[in-house]
Amino acid sequence: MSVSVLELTPKYPREKQIMMLLNGDEAVAYATKQSYVDVVAAYPITPQTIIVEKFSEFVANGEVHTEFIPVESEHSAMSACIGAAATGARAFTSTCSQGLALMVETLYIASGLRLPVVMAVTNRALSAPINIHGDHSDAYSMRDSGWIMLFVENVQEAYDTTIQAFKIAEHPEVQLPVSVHLDGFFLSHTMENLYVLPDEAVYKFLGGPRKPVKVKVDYFDEEVEYALNPAKPLSMGMLAFYDYYFEIKTQQVETMKRAEKVIMEVNEEWYKLTGRRYGDGLVDPYAVDDADIVIVIMGSSTSTVRSVVKKFREKGVKVGVLRVRSFRPFPRKTIAKLLKDVKLVAVLDRAASPGSMGALYLDVISSLYTEKERPIVVDYVYGLGGRDLSPPLVFKLVEELSEDLKRGFVPEERVMRYLGVRE
């Protein structure tokens, strides 16, 4: 397949982009500022608070024309976004941990009403005991809510993905809410050099302000915007019993499948604009093609794992890393294709699931189940409450997996393991 030079050359190479020193929260706020958001609903919770604080500064300084709504809870924050999005506005909020748990009821409403809300989640452990640091237990609580869930590795990706999220959510084939996940403190409060686009470039990338999709309604002679408008009255979220509810929910499921293609297309479009892409948009593999051992992971710890894997590669150990960027929709077919010929897979879950295995692990093994040949898969729980995944721990992990590979099997009692816990 031939590729034109134009496709390989980004429209805005680095010299046309602006380098800034920002932490992850500030990067998300800046991306939101550039995305011409109509409504931001704000409620503080560590380590997310900087996002809405920073955005409030943009509002106070007159840098944006956004309705900034300080609310009394996270439940109200999402409720405000639902109301705004239902009228055709572009809406954004952010939260984490207990705030996300309080918000769960309304998350199902946002997706069920097919409203393209965007939310940043600075992943933080759930209480009790109280902990303000990062793990994925809060994110796993929303995995079945019908939201697209994208996990980022670094501050640059947090900026890039926030802008992409608006385009994905508002795509005519999607019309679903999107959450952008960045690890609390590891990314939210860590400063990095990153490149940002000029405002006009983001405006063109998003196609300007949000344009609600048009739908056919029996009692109108024309297609009308899917938005609350007294001149063209519509009903949203009306009562649906068993005669309709089933079909409505299956439409969400089928739409989530179609979203995979859109996420990949937006990832490529962003690459042509900026020179940056994240794997195929769904997964980001490193040295997987010829690997005997592959470590599957999400989030900021990927950088540490990849750096250690490079050291083992230099020693001739065939180990690779598969970063899952899109947790929902889960790219089942892509993951099965990448892992089916691998001998041993270690899935790293940054959350515990008492009474079961890790959520990421369960998705990976279900993806491989129908393959005739499939690897041994083990589950590691790591990093709870913000505990660091250090390079020595990753060295220990790879050495342990190498021993498993030599043995050729993993005892049942060793399928689920802890990495970095004191015995």
pTM for the model = 0.97
| Nearest residue to 193 via CA among 350, 24, 45 | 24
User: pLDDT tens digit string along 93-142?
Assistant: 999 999 999 999 999 999 999 999 999 999 999 999 999 999 999 999 99
Q: How far apart are CA 182 and CA 271, in angstroms?
A: 21
Burial per residue of 393-422, b for 16 or more beta-carbon CB atoms within 10 angstroms, e otherwise? bbeebbebbbebbeeeebeeeeebbebbee
What does the pLDDT look like over 353-393, one tens digit per residue?
999 999 999 999 999 999 999 999 999 999 999 999 999 99
**CB within 8 Å of 61: residues ≥ 6 apart:** none
- Give the rounded distance of the alpha carbon of 101 from its chain centre: 17
How sure is the predictor about 167, in pLDDT bands with cuts at 50, 70 and 90? very high
Per-residue pLDDT reduced to its tens digit, 67-85:
999 999 999 999 999 999 9
**Preceding peptide of 129 cis, ω within 30°:** yes
Q: Can you list the domains of the chain with their CATH numbers?
A: 10-211+257-274 (3.40.50.970), 283-419 (3.40.50.920)
With 90 as the cut, is the pLDDT of residue 46 above it?
yes
